[in-house]
Amino acid sequence: MTLTPVAPLPEHEVRVRAPGKVNLSLRVGPREDDGYHAVSTVFQAVSVFEEVVATPSEQRTLTVSGPQAELVPTDGSNLALRAAALLADRAGIDDGVHLHLHKGVPVAGGMAGGSADAAATLVACDALWRTGLSRDDLLELAAELGSDVPFSLAGHTAVGSGRGHLLTPALSRGEFHWAFAVQDRGLSTADVYAAFDDLHGTALVPDQDDDVPLMQALRAGDPRALGAALHNDLQMAALELDPGLAEPLAVAQDAGALGVVVSGSGPTVAALGRSRQHALVLAAAFTASGVADRVLTAAGPVAGARVVSSTD
């Protein structure tokens, strides 16, 4: 009798992709007693992705690759490891996991890369460990990890209230095309909110009615109207901390962007194009003028954190 060698089973591996975001509108109210500002924001998930690969392991460990990987902490402060620990705790699991993050979203760039890693890790470990938690349970854990994490899980287009963590899906037609001017230097979200307080003192409570034209532009799939309605209350604070951001803002305007805005707390600058082709023209203008360390193009909206492959 001859024995046919059996190929080893592939190691169980779950691969999840989660998108970055741009805040189409970010309206900031006063700082509340919990230290957070009440916000009203309209998020759009864009096709710049983080990928998280989760495999079983004795310990909980992490490796990182991609542009700016050296800027990402690999200790317990990493949002992905915090997400795995929180999920294990809530689900009563003490399995280890190895997480590999491949970063496509700028680090500390105002596009929620860390939040995307956390959301992707919740989805990956939930699948690996078969926790049986519901989507709503995962959204609750996401909100504990950070204000932007629920949106990274949900994706598409949504209005965020509270700290930005309470989401209402918003209607949006068609695709919008963006060019992003990315900087190697990051901006700390906490510092930008503190600079906002210094500039504005007692901010007004944000009013969602201010975003009616923006919501109409989304429903109509009208990039010109969307460009005119882009708004970011943190932009002045980001410019105060990083005056050099005036340059990519001006370059995009001169190159005919339909609208240009600092993404979230910055320093990434987002420029809206008329079409995919026009977004490439805007990206070329960023590159030619030397105002960005890296340039990306992307389309939105796209889905939130999703399993892309699983060996089991």
Ligand X SMILES: Nc1ncnc2c1ncn2[C@@H]1O[C@H](COP(=O)(O)OP(=O)(O)O)[C@@H](O)[C@H]1O
Alpha-carbon span 233 to 262, nearest angstrom = 10
Q: Is 268 a binder of ligand SUD (CB under 6 A)?
A: no
Q: Is 232 a binder of ligand SUD (CB under 6 A)?
A: no
Structure letter (DSSP) for residue 129: H
Nearer to ligand SUD, 183 or 265 (CB): 265
Q: Is 115 a binder of ligand SUD (CB under 6 A)?
A: yes
Alpha-carbon span 250 to 245, nearest angstrom = 9
Kindly indicate which of the ranges 188-196, 209-217, 250-258, 271-279 contains the residues binding ligand SUD, using the contact rule CB under 6 A.
188-196
Residue 25, CB-side half-sphere exposure with 13 Å CA sphere:
28
Does the annotation count 103 as an active-site position? no
Using only C-alpha atoms, what is the Rg of the chain?
Answer: 20
Q: Is 123 a binder of ligand X (CB under 6 A)?
A: no
Task: Rule CB under 6 A: choose which of 23, 25, 55, 265 binds ligand X.
Answer: 265
Residue 307, CB-side half-sphere exposure with 13 Å CA sphere:
14
Task: Rule CB under 6 A: choose which of 112, 120, 142, 298 binds ligand SUD.
Answer: 112
Q: Which two tokens stand for residue 27?
A: 């309206």
Q: From ligand SUD, ligand X, none, which one binds at residue 297 (CB under 5 to 8 Å depending on kind)?
A: none
Q: Which two tokens stand for residue 30?
A: 């006063």
Q: Is 206 a binder of ligand SUD (CB under 6 A)?
A: no
* Residue 101 CB coordination number (10 Å): 26
Pairing between strand 60-65 and 96-102? parallel
Instruction: Consult the annotation and say whether 107 binds a ligand.
Output: yes
Instruction: Consult the annotation and say whether 114 binds a ligand.
Output: yes
Residue with nearest beta carbon to ligand X: 114
Alpha-carbon span 36 to 298, nearest angstrom = 30
Kindly indicate which of the ranges 84-92, 108-116, 171-179, 293-301 contains the residues binding ligand SUD, using the contact rule CB under 6 A.
108-116
Alpha-carbon span 281 to 301, nearest angstrom = 20
Q: Is 39 a binder of ligand SUD (CB under 6 A)?
A: yes
Task: Rule CB under 6 A: choose which of 28, 41, 53, 114 binds ligand X.
Answer: 114
Q: Is 97 a binder of ligand X (CB under 6 A)?
A: no
Does the annotation count 21 as an active-site position? yes
10 Å CB burial of residue 108 (0-12, 13-18, 19+) is: buried
Q: Which of 299, 223, 307, 215 is nearest to 258 (CA)?
A: 223
Q: From ligand SUD, ligand X, none, which one binds at residue 41 (CB under 5 to 8 Å depending on kind)?
A: ligand SUD
* Contact (CB, 8 A) for 14 and 127: yes
Instruction: Consult the annotation and say whether 164 binds a ligand.
Output: no
Task: Rule CB under 6 A: choose which of 104, 106, 155, 164 binds ligand SUD.
Answer: 164
Task: Rule CB under 6 A: choose which of 46, 87, 111, 167 binds ligand X.
Answer: 111
Instruction: Consult the annotation and say whether 110 binds a ligand.
Output: yes
Task: Rule CB under 6 A: choose which of 104, 106, 146, 155 binds ligand SUD.
Answer: 146
Alpha-carbon span 252 to 274, nearest angstrom = 13
Q: Which two tokens stand for residue 104?
A: 């496509």
Q: Which of 45, 39, 21, 43 is nearest to 233 (CA)?
A: 39
Of residues 117, 126, 148, 233, which has the active-site annotation?
Answer: 148
Residues near ligand SUD (CB under 6 A) are 23, 26, 35-37, 39, 41, 110, 112, 115, 146-148, 163-164, 189-190, 193, 264-265
Residues near ligand X (CB under 6 A) are 72-73, 77-80, 101, 107-115, 117, 186, 189, 265
Annotated binding residues for ATP: 106-116
Catalogue the active-site residues. Answer: 21, 148
